[in-house]
Amino acid sequence: MAAVNIEDRAGFKPLSDAEAGRVVHAAKRRDFLFAILGVFVLVLSMGMLTALIVDLLIDGLTRINYDFLTSFPSRRPAQAGILSAWVGTSLVMLTTALIAIPLGIMAGIYLEEYAPKNWITDIIEINVSNLAGVPSIIYGLLALGLFVYTLGLGRTVLTAGLVLALLILPVVIVATREAVRSIPLIIREGAYGMGADKWQVIWHYILPAARPGILTGAIVGLSRAIGETAPVLTIGALTFIAFLPPSPIQPEFPFLNFDWLTSPFTVMPIQMFNWISRPQEAFHINAAATGLVLIAMTLTMNAVAIWIRYRLRSQARS
């Protein structure tokens, strides 16, 4: 190739001041238009959410008081409360968390670290993701057939905990895998390079670093489970419960009691569903109040997760 004379740059000149100004102006306009669009979309979606919550607040806030939280349901709306519903929800969520979180973490770690990379693993992986999209009522039907009839577990807290655990298991598995996969390669190689075995690498180096991600997945899953109505309805949770399950804690040895697992129960979404379908206006207000308590429980759960994540992060940093 012949040497190019640097003087021969045909047609290309440095931008003039005016031209540079035009380029910058166009860029700024694009940014401005996109920012406007972003604000609009944000206001629209946040506005709708706020409206929903404000509506609930206006309807339900007056109804929330000590009596509402400590009374059983009643035929008379003014005396009805949600004691059995929130206790039921708490116990079912406890069961769900105790089943889904350990199982999900173990399955996620197995798939990510131990499973051989072959077509069977591929099929399992694809199906785990697909399971997250299966409508929840299908899980309800499965639970009705398997847990209630075949295994004879009845319409109990345990059955509800199991079905909700199944429902959120894919979420926990996927979150665990993502969290484990996001650990930088150099940390992994550093740990293996010292002579650590697989179990030590996973237990001492990968799991601690993956904890925030796994926790987020678990909370997202539980937040979904707490509001689920269809599968719990399908297994036949009762809508009118005027007693509490036995307490999980007792004063005598061994201090823990698992009789509550086999107790009939109701949960808050079902209580809401039940009240909403009554004709009396007063029950609708009760339902709104229950909704507020449900939202408060979900937000509390999220807040605790954020706090734990913050603690873990500052532990790793400071």
Partner 1 sequence: MPEANMNQETYRQSEFARASDPHAPAGSRPNAISDTLKADVRGLSFWYDKFQALKNIDLPIAEKKVTALIGASGCGKSTLLRCFNRMHDLYPGNRYEGEILLLPEKQNIVEKGIDPIRVRLKAGMVFQKPNPFPKSIFENVASGLRVRGIRDRAVIADRVEEVLRQAALWDEVKDRLDQSAYALSGGQQQRLCIARTLAPEPELILLDEPTSALDPIATAKIEELIEKLRDHYAIVIVTHSMQQAARISAYCAFMHLGQLVEFGTNQTIFTSPKEKRTQDYITGRFG
Stretch of 7-15, 89-97, 201-209, 270-278 lying at the interface with partner 1 (CB under 8 A)? 201-209
Stretch of 58-66, 154-162, 190-198, 265-273 lying at the interface with partner 1 (CB under 8 A)? 190-198
Can you say whether the dihedral through the CA atoms of 242, 246, 250, 252 is positive or negative? positive
- Closest to 266 (Cα-Cα) out of 83, 24, 33, 132: 83
Question: What CA–CA distance (Å, rounded) separates 275 from 72?
Answer: 13
Structure tokens at 297: 């429980």
Q: Where are the alpha helices (DSSP H) in 5-135?
A: 17-60, 66-70, 83-109, 119-131
* CB-nearer residue toward partner 1: 47 or 190: 190
Residues 235-294 that bind partner 1 (CB under 8 A): none
Question: What CA–CA distance (Å, rounded) separates 238 from 206?
Answer: 43
Q: Quickly tell me which residue has 């290309």 as its tokens.
A: 12
Q: Which residues contact 24 (CB under 8 A, 6 or more apart)?
A: none
Structure tokens at 45: 């979606």
* CB-nearer residue toward partner 1: 111 or 191: 191
Sole binder of partner 1 in the list 71, 200, 239, 257 (CB under 8 A)? 200
What is the C-alpha radius of gyration for the chain, rounded to an integer number of angstroms?
Answer: 27
Tell me how many residues contact partner 1 (CB under 8 A).
Answer: 22
Stretch of 39-47, 205-213, 237-245, 296-304 lying at the interface with partner 1 (CB under 8 A)? 205-213
Stretch of 91-99, 123-131, 183-191, 236-244 lying at the interface with partner 1 (CB under 8 A)? 183-191
Neighbours of 196 (CB within 10 A): 16
- 249 in helix, strand or coil? strand
Examine residue 86 and tell whether it contacts partner 1 (CB under 8 A).
no
Instruction: Note whether 136 and 230 are within 8 A (CB).
Output: yes
Examine residue 230 and tell whether it contacts partner 1 (CB under 8 A).
no
Instruction: Note whether 245 and 87 are within 8 A (CB).
Output: yes
* CB-nearer residue toward partner 1: 31 or 197: 197
Sole binder of partner 1 in the list 191, 219, 287, 288 (CB under 8 A)? 191
Question: What CA–CA distance (Å, rounded) separates 134 from 36?
Answer: 37
Stretch of 2-10, 148-156, 179-187, 248-256 lying at the interface with partner 1 (CB under 8 A)? 179-187
Examine residue 135 and tell whether it contacts partner 1 (CB under 8 A).
no
Examine residue 15 and tell whether it contacts partner 1 (CB under 8 A).
no
Examine residue 318 and tell whether it contacts partner 1 (CB under 8 A).
yes
Provide the minimum distance between the beta carbon of 315 and partner 1 in the complex, in angstroms, as a whole number. Answer: 8
Sole binder of partner 1 in the list 68, 205, 265, 283 (CB under 8 A)? 205
Question: What CA–CA distance (Å, rounded) separates 77 from 280?
Answer: 8
Stretch of 58-66, 68-76, 149-157, 189-197 lying at the interface with partner 1 (CB under 8 A)? 189-197
Provide the minimum distance between the beta carbon of 186 and partner 1 in the complex, in angstroms, as a whole number. Answer: 4
Residues 103-132 that bind partner 1 (CB under 8 A): 117
Q: Which residues bind partner 1 (CB under 8 A)?
A: 117, 184, 186-197, 200, 204-205, 208-209, 316-318
